[in-house]
Amino acid sequence: MADRVLGGRYQVLDKVGTGGMATVYRGMDQVLGRTVAIKTMLPQYATDPSFAARFKQEAQAAAALNSPYIVSVYDWGKDGDTYYIIMEYLRGTDLKSGIRKHGALDCKKVAQIGSQIAQALSVAHNHDIIHRDIKPQNIMVQPDGNIKVMDFGIARAKNSHLTTDNSVLGTAHYVSPEQTQGKPLGPTTDLYSLGIVMYEAATGRVPFDGDNAVTVAMKQVTEQPVPPSQINPNVDPQLEAIILKCMQKDPKDRFQTADELYHTLHDYLSGRMQAVNNATAMLPATPTTPLSRGNGSTQSLPRTQSTGRMRPQSATEQAAQEEEERQKKQKRNRVLAIVGAIAGIVVVALIIASVLGSGSKAYSVPNLLGLTQDDAQAQLDSDGHGFQIGNVSEQYSPSVEEGKIIEQTPGAGRTATEGSSIDIVVSKGEEPAASVTVPDLTNCTPSEAQDLLNKYGLKGQAGDSVYNADVEVGHVAEQEPAAETSAKAGDTITYHLSQGAEQVSVPNVVGESQSSATSTLQSAGFEVSVTQSSSPSVEKGNVISTNPSAGTSADKGSTVTITVSTGPSSVSVPNVLGYDESSAESALKNAGFGVTVTTEASSTVAKGKVISQSATSATSGSTITIVVSSGSGSSNSGTNNGSNSNGNSSTNNGGTNSGNGEGTNTGSTTSGT
C-alpha cells in the first residue's frame, strides 16, 4: 500500500495503526500539499455491502460534524477495490495510552477532557448522530492538551436504515446498560460511556472488569461502581457526583443532554460548586446491588445529601451518626411541641376573643391559589361567608402563570371571621432576564469564547465553520447575534470558527479577450490585475497567460494577473544593401523574415547587388522585398548595357545594339535575336 496514490491525489506514506475493520496510514494530499490520515477498509470487508455501507456512512456522518473537538473528515472515495476516508492528521497520543503511562489524572484535567468530549457530543447529537463507541482509545490528546473525538465507524444517525445489531458494537468496558441489552439508544448512552471514561481518567482503572466481554457487559447492567474517591482519595466530591450521575443505570437519571453535562463540568472548573451540587442532587440514595468490600468489586454505600456523592462509612461511624441524629431529632421534637402548643393557645384565644367581641361566626378560608383575582372573588362570593379580596400585590414567579394567585393571607384552611379580607399576591410571570451587551468573540479560541460568554451570563455553541482569510484557523470568525447588540442573560450565542481562506481553482481564460477574462475571474471570486506583452501568435487584446496559472488553487479574493497581447512586436531588419542577391536572401531568412526579389537597372550598383530593401524594421515573420540591380542601362565601352546576354544584336525603336556590345542603344531592349 505504501507509495500508492489513491484517487489520483492522496499518496500513502506509512502505516499508523490497524483497527477492527480498517487500517490507518499517514499520507500526503498532493494537491494541497498537506499531511493527512488515510483510513482504508480491510480487504476482507471491502466486498461485504453492509460493511461498505457503514464505511461510507462513517465518512458522511463525520463530515457533517464541525467542532474543534471532532477530527475533521476531508474526503472519501473508492480506488479500485479500496475504500478510503481522508481525515485530519492528528499528532499526540490516545487517552487510553496516556492513562496507562501516567495513571490517574488531576481532577481539573479530567473535567477539562470531559467538558471537551461533551461539547463534541453536543454537536453530534444536534445532528441526530449517536457515537455509540466513546472510549479513551477514541479520544486523541493533542500536544496542546486539547482533545479530538475520533472514529465514527459505528456511529449511526437516527434515520439510518442499516440493520446492524446494536447489542455489543462498542467495547464492553464502556457500553451503556441499554446498549448491552439491545434497547433503543439515545444521547444519554454516549453520556454513560463518557462517565466511564472520566471514571477511568480519575482513578486509573475501569469501573467494571472481568474475564470476558459478556461478564463485563452484565456488570454494566447489574452492578454499581465503586465510588471513584474510594480508589483515589484525591477525587473531589463534586467531580465524583458528576461521574456517578453520568453512570446511572436508568437513562432518565443521567444528564439528559451533552450540553447540560458540559455546563455542569464548566461550573465545576469555575468553582461554582453549589451549581454542581444542584445539578447532581437527584442521584439515588444507595446502589441497588450490595457487594463485599476490599476486592475492587462494587458495593452498597450511603450518600451525602448535599452533593449526591456516595461515600463509604465504617460501622462505628454509622452508629455514631445514627445516635447523633436520634438525639437531634428528640431535641427538635421537644422544641416544636412547645412552640406548637403556645401557637395553638394563642390562635384559640384570638378566635374566642374575635367571636365573643364581634358576635360574628368564623369560617375556614378557601384555597385561592392558582386562581385569577376575578375567579377568586367569584369563589368567595359563592361561598356566602362574606370574604373579600383585600390588598393585592404582585411579584415574579418562575413556576406560576402570570395573573394567577401565588400567595394568600390568611392561608387556605385557616379560620377567619365572616366578612374578613383576604390579601393576595398575584404572579407577574417569570422575571425577565437581565439585558446584556453581547461581547465580541472575533479571534477567540472556543474555550476563550466560552469563558467570555460566561462572564456576561450567556451560553455559547459552535455553529458551522466558515471561510475567512483574515482570521486564524480554529478561531472565531463570525457570531450571531453580532457583537455590541443586546441579548438576555441565558441566551445562546452561536459562533463560527474560521477555516482560513477558501481555496478556488483559477479558471482558464487564455485566448479570451481582456474584458471576458476579467469577468470570468471576478465571477470566480478573484481580483484582477493586467499586464501587457507582445505576442506573434496571440491576437492583440487577448490573454496570453495568467498568474497563478489556470487549474491551480488560490485563495478566494486574491489577485490573478492576466497578461494581454499587444500583437506581434517590431524587430530590426538586417541591412542588406550592396549584398549579392543570394547573400541578402540568406541574411533576411536567418533573421526570421520572408523575402521577395525584384530587379531594376542601375548605373551605380553592380549587377546582382541589392539596390534597396522595403523596410529597416518589421514584425518578425513578415516579408521583406529587395531590389537587385540588373546592370546599367547606358552605353559603356566593354560593358553589356542591354539586357541581352547572348551578344546578338537587336534593334528596338531605331536603336542599334552591335553584337560585340559596342553599339549604342537608344531604345528599350527587351530581347535579343
Full DSSP string of 619-672:
ETT-EEEEEEE----S--TTS--SS--S---EEETTEEE-TTS-SB--S-----
Cell of 668: 528599350
Sign of CA pseudo-dihedral 138, 224, 241, 247: positive
Interior/surface letters 590-614, b for 16+ CB within 10 angstroms, e for the rest = eeebebeeebebbeebebebbbebe
Quick check: is 133 catalytic?
yes
Does 39 appear as a known binding residue? yes
Q: Is-contact 273 264, C-beta < 8 A?
A: no
Considering only CA atoms, which of 238, 253, 208, 252 is closest in space to residue 311? 238
Q: DSSP character for 169?
A: -
Residues 6+ apart with CB under 8 A from 263: 279, 459
Q: Is-contact 61 55, C-beta < 8 A?
A: no
The strand ranges marked E within 237-347 are none
Q: Is-contact 2 13, C-beta < 8 A?
A: yes
Distance CA(254)–CA(243), nearest Å, equals 10
Rounded to 5 degrees, φ, ψ at 209 are -140, 165
Q: Is-contact 27 36, C-beta < 8 A?
A: yes
Distance CA(415)–CA(363), nearest Å, equals 5
Terminal Cα-to-Cα distance of the chain (whole angstroms): 92
> What does the chain come to in residues?
673
Distance CA(64)–CA(207), nearest Å, equals 33
Amino acid sitting at position 68: P
Question: 650 pairs with which residues across the strands?
Answer: 657
Residues 6+ apart with CB under 8 A from 631: 601, 602, 606, 607, 639, 640, 641, 643
Q: Is-contact 56 76, C-beta < 8 A?
A: yes
Sign of CA pseudo-dihedral 454, 457, 461, 462: negative
Taking each helix axis as running N to C, give the angle between helix 258-269 and helix 187-203, from 0 to 180 degrees, rounded to the nearest 10.
Answer: 30
**Catalytic-labelled residue, pool 75, 106, 133, 253:** 133
Taking CA atoms, 286 is separated from 42, 224, 309, 460, 478, in Å, by 47, 9, 10, 36, 48
Q: Is-contact 657 638, C-beta < 8 A?
A: no
Distance CA(451)–CA(438), nearest Å, equals 13
Considering only CA atoms, which of 63, 84, 75, 72 is closest in space to residue 6? 84
Distance CA(570)–CA(536), nearest Å, equals 10
Rounded to 5 degrees, φ, ψ at 193 are -60, -40
Taking each helix axis as running N to C, give the angle between helix 187-203 and helix 107-126, from 0 to 180 degrees, rounded to the nearest 10.
Answer: 160
Amino acid sitting at position 313: Q
* Bond preceding residue 177 cis, omega within 30 of 0: no
**What pairing do the DSSP bridges indicate for beta strands 129-130 and 34-41?**
unpaired
As annotated, the binding site for ATP includes: 39
As annotated, the binding site includes: 39
Residues that are catalytic:
133
